[in-house]
Amino acid sequence: MFFIVAHHAVWNSGVTDVYDWNALPARMQFLQLWSAWGKTGINVFVLISAYFMCASSLTLRRFMKVFLEAKFYAVVCYVVLLVGGYEVVTGKRLFMLAFSLIRDVNVGFTGTFLALYLLVPFLNSLVKALPRKSLLLLIGVLVVIYTGNATFFFHQEAYSELGWYVTLYFIGAYLRLYPLDWMKSRWVTGFGLLSSLFLACGAILAIDHSGLWHYVTPYYFTNNCQCLLSLTIAVLAVLWFANIDIGHRPIVNTVASCTFGIFLIHTASDAMRTWLWRDLFDMAGHATGPLCKVVFYFVAVNIVVFFACALIDLIRRCVVLLFSRSHSLKRLLDG
């Protein structure tokens, strides 16, 4: 989620409009590498969800908890930005706000992820019914269709986003249920992860300096969730961390529980993107200074946005918890 924020800080702020493609200054190359992992982060998020959900059951309560969190931040952010003069009140805007999560399927992450949530019981039934080899074959076919098209045939949006999340779900379930020997080695997965990251960074810089940026984006191999390196890095990252025993760390679990909230807040709307990245922090205006200042500013803003959104989500969770406990106590006393 930290690198998803970094991706949005560059791509949603107008920073790419001030790139000097002829000179290729060091600050520009830093920003390219800094913001290249947003789509990989989305893959990681879905894979982790699949890794745990394939061995559990989805209840209506669990789904509504996620749905209401998404709707809560959509409404609250709209009201706050409306007061700040960044939003408007029109019939169309209110209609879109009311049905944003439905319309967002195959358009944005939140709506598509909630649609995937609805499919979880059916996907789990299919995973359990299929023999191991059949599940692997299904994954192979889907990866060829999606990743093959996106990576080798310049079809960067092959088919549907929901279909890709379903593919990731099957992959995550396979990693959890049928781990191979090499998947259990932190050295093998770590080496693979570093190698994939090196290839991705090398591809970006190679396209820059070879002049191929005239024909394809330097992010070609990472700017789509379906691209080979985005998938490879995500899978190896999940496996590598799964092989690390860090023990029980309450702070890690607490911050991790806020990651979906962090996403919902800083991507609430186009108005939020305008206010946050263009007006509040002026990312584009700080992207043309000396390299050391650019690095410091972008890293610092990333940390501030990440933890500020996490704090907001923690406050929301505490309020909800206090309200539910007081309501339960009231019911007990009334009974």
Please, what is the average pLDDT of the chain?
88
**What is the tens place of the pLDDT at every residue in 283-303?**
999 998 899 999 999 999 999
Question: How sure is the predictor about 327, in pLDDT bands with cuts at 50, 70 and 90?
Answer: low
Residues 175 and 212 in one domain: yes
Residues 287 and 310 in one domain: yes
Q: Is the pLDDT of residue 329 over 60?
A: no
What's the Cα-to-Cα distance from 142 to each of 64, 107, 145, 163, rounded to whole Å? 30, 20, 5, 9
Question: How sure is the predictor about 154, in pLDDT bands with cuts at 50, 70 and 90?
Answer: low
Q: What is the mean pLDDT of residues 249-257?
A: 86
Domain final position from 210, 228, 244: 244
Tokens of 260: 């979906």
Q: Is the pLDDT of residue 328 over 60?
A: no
Q: Which residues contact 58 (CB under 8 A, 6 or more apart)?
A: 117, 120, 121, 124
Q: Is the pLDDT of residue 259 over 90?
A: yes
Q: Provide the Cα torsion 69, 73, 79, 85; round to 10°.
A: -170
Share of the chain above pLDDT 70, in %: 95
Amino acid identity of residue 220, one-letter, is Y
**What is the tens place of the pLDDT at every residue in 115-128?**
999 999 999 999 99
**How far is residue 95's CA from residue 90's CA, in Å, rounded to a whole number?**
8
What sign has the CA pseudo-torsion 70, 74, 75, 77? positive
pTM of the model: 0.89
Residues 157 and 69 in one domain: yes
Q: What is the mean pLDDT of residues 76-80?
A: 93
Q: What is the pLDDT of residue 211?
A: 80
Q: Is the pLDDT of residue 279 over 70?
A: yes
Residues 238 and 255 in one domain: no
Q: What residues make up the domain containing 174?
A: 43-244
Domain final position from 226, 244, 262: 244
Least confident range from 145-154, 224-233, 234-243: namely 145-154
Domain final position from 244, 276, 293: 244
Is-contact 159 146, C-beta < 8 A? yes
**Between these two residues, 102 and 74, which has the higher pLDDT value?**
74
Q: What is the pLDDT of residue 15?
A: 92
Q: What is the pLDDT of residue 200?
A: 93
Element spanning 114, H or E: helix 109-129
Residues 12 and 60 in one domain: no
Residues 130 and 239 in one domain: yes
Q: What is the mean pLDDT of residues 51-76?
A: 88
Q: Is the pLDDT of residue 333 over 60?
A: no
Q: What is the pLDDT of residue 286?
A: 93
Residues 220 and 273 in one domain: no
Residues 188 and 282 in one domain: no
Report how many domains make up the chain. 2
Residues 261 and 282 in one domain: yes
Residues 191 and 94 in one domain: yes
Task: Give 20: exposed, middle or buried? Use CB within 10 Å, 0-12, 13-18, 19+.
Answer: exposed
Residues 21 and 62 in one domain: no
Q: Phi and psi for 69 in degrees, rounded to 5?
A: -65, -45
Q: What is the mean pLDDT of residues 81-86?
A: 91
Q: Is the pLDDT of residue 330 over 70?
A: no
Q: What is the pLDDT of residue 91?
A: 87
Residues 98 and 221 in one domain: yes
Q: What is the mean pLDDT of residues 163-173?
A: 95
Q: What is the pLDDT of residue 253?
A: 86
Share of the chain above pLDDT 90, in %: 56
Question: How sure is the predictor about 323, in pLDDT bands with cuts at 50, 70 and 90?
Answer: confident
